[in-house]
Amino acid sequence: MTRIDPGSAEAVAVLVSRLLSGETRALAKAITKVECGEAGAAALLAAIQPHLGHATVLGITGPPGVGKSTLIDALIAELRCRGKRVGVLAVDPSSPVSGGAILGDRVRMARHTGDAGVFVRSLASRGHLGGLFRTAWGVIQVMDAAGPDYILLETVGTGQSEVEICDYAHANLVLCAPGLGDDIQAIKSGILEIADILVVNKADQPNAATTVSQLQGMLGLRSAAASGVSVVTTTASTGEGLPALADLIEAIARDRTTPAGRRRGSRGARRALANAAGDRVRERALQAEDSSPIDALCERFARGEIALDAAAAELVRLVADGEDGGE
């Protein structure tokens, strides 16, 4: 028997129809294809475009140890009780030295492993900065095509600079633990701006109330644009506060059909493209061969013969020329 090339149009069409019919194996394979940019990935993404938009995408971020995975576990349980189907993309960091990774987030979600209404996929950041991974936009679309009501996107959780998630998600949950001044600092310095819902998790600990009022104080100082931000408390380990959180999320899911909600979603594609283009330019600059035009540009910049902005513009042009030439 001859094997069909998995990147062929025929194979992709079969995979897409299996994916759309909700077959788990097809979803897993399609994610791999898009995640790794395997042959046929572009065709697959093109084919699923008419089938997107059902899922509400929620970003879940916050500093390490704050309980993101445990909150997701509790949130899955609550959403399942409401008859919703849930997909989870959980991102862990890759080792900068070996490129390998230990993907352990789903350990906290173990009780949902056998539930056909839940699909969890662990992914490694593979050097991508910003809390997700390079092909996240496409993978979210693949997951959406499989038909879940919600997609929960768990970031690496470095705490800061995870802003790209706000362009991929319809709403962002930012988690913080009570009583940790450093967390508050981290939130002040960046991710507070991207929060739609601030979750004070581990609410059974002392200081939870103080943290809530601190956060509300900070929100009060901000512009009217931040007025829609909710602050909720949860204790993921007991499930306390989860029904209220799920109510908020369901309200967002209904509301995203408004023009504002749609606009937000469309920024994702733009962000994904900009990130990919940025990665490409970066790779070319860092891996330029000796005495290539890019190498020469870098040398000129190193000697101070050309200013940063001018050099950057020149670099983009050189990379574009290289792309045209097909290398």
d(CA 288, CA 280): 12
Q: Considering the rule CB under 8 A, would residue 94 count as an interface residue with another protein?
A: yes
**Torsion angle of C-alpha atoms 187, 192, 194, 200, degrees rounded to 10:** 90
Q: Considering the rule CB under 8 A, would residue 4 count as an interface residue with another protein?
A: no
CB of 132 to another protein, least distance (A): 15
Cβ contact 238:201 at 8 Å:
no
The answer for 5, left when phi > 0, alpha when psi is -120 to 50, beta otherwise, is beta
Nearest alpha carbon to residue 151 among 91, 104, 198: 91
Burial call 193-202: b when 16+ CB within 10 Å, e when fewer: bbbbbbbbbb
d(CA 75, CA 15): 30
Angle at 214 between CA 212 and CA 220, to 5 degrees: 105
CB of 25 to another protein, least distance (A): 6
Q: Considering the rule CB under 8 A, would residue 24 count as an interface residue with another protein?
A: yes
d(CA 225, CA 173): 17
CB of 48 to another protein, least distance (A): 18
Q: Considering the rule CB under 8 A, would residue 119 count as an interface residue with another protein?
A: yes
Among 11, 14, 22, 32, binds another protein (CB under 8 A): 32
Q: Considering the rule CB under 8 A, would residue 37 count as an interface residue with another protein?
A: yes
Cβ closest to another protein, residue 8 vs residue 95: 95
Q: Considering the rule CB under 8 A, would residue 25 count as an interface residue with another protein?
A: yes
Q: Considering the rule CB under 8 A, would residue 74 count as an interface residue with another protein?
A: no
Cβ contact 175:66 at 8 Å:
yes
d(CA 216, CA 4): 58
Q: Considering the rule CB under 8 A, would residue 325 count as an interface residue with another protein?
A: no
Cβ closest to another protein, residue 145 vs residue 171: 145
CB of 162 to another protein, least distance (A): 21
Q: Considering the rule CB under 8 A, would residue 276 count as an interface residue with another protein?
A: no
Token readout for 10 is 């025929």
Q: Considering the rule CB under 8 A, would residue 120 count as an interface residue with another protein?
A: yes
Q: Considering the rule CB under 8 A, would residue 106 count as an interface residue with another protein?
A: yes
Kindly tell me the sign of the dihedral angle through the C-alpha atoms of 129, 200, 267, 34. positive
Q: Considering the rule CB under 8 A, would residue 113 count as an interface residue with another protein?
A: yes
Q: Considering the rule CB under 8 A, would residue 122 count as an interface residue with another protein?
A: yes
Q: Considering the rule CB under 8 A, would residue 103 count as an interface residue with another protein?
A: yes
Stretch that binds another protein, among 89-97, 152-160, 217-225, 227-235 (CB under 8 A): 89-97
Nearest alpha carbon to residue 54 among 160, 149, 121: 149
126-165 positions binding another protein, by CB under 8 A: 126
Q: What residue ranges bind another protein (CB under 8 A)?
A: 6, 24-25, 28-29, 31-32, 35-38, 65, 94-95, 97-104, 106-107, 110, 113-114, 119-122, 124, 126
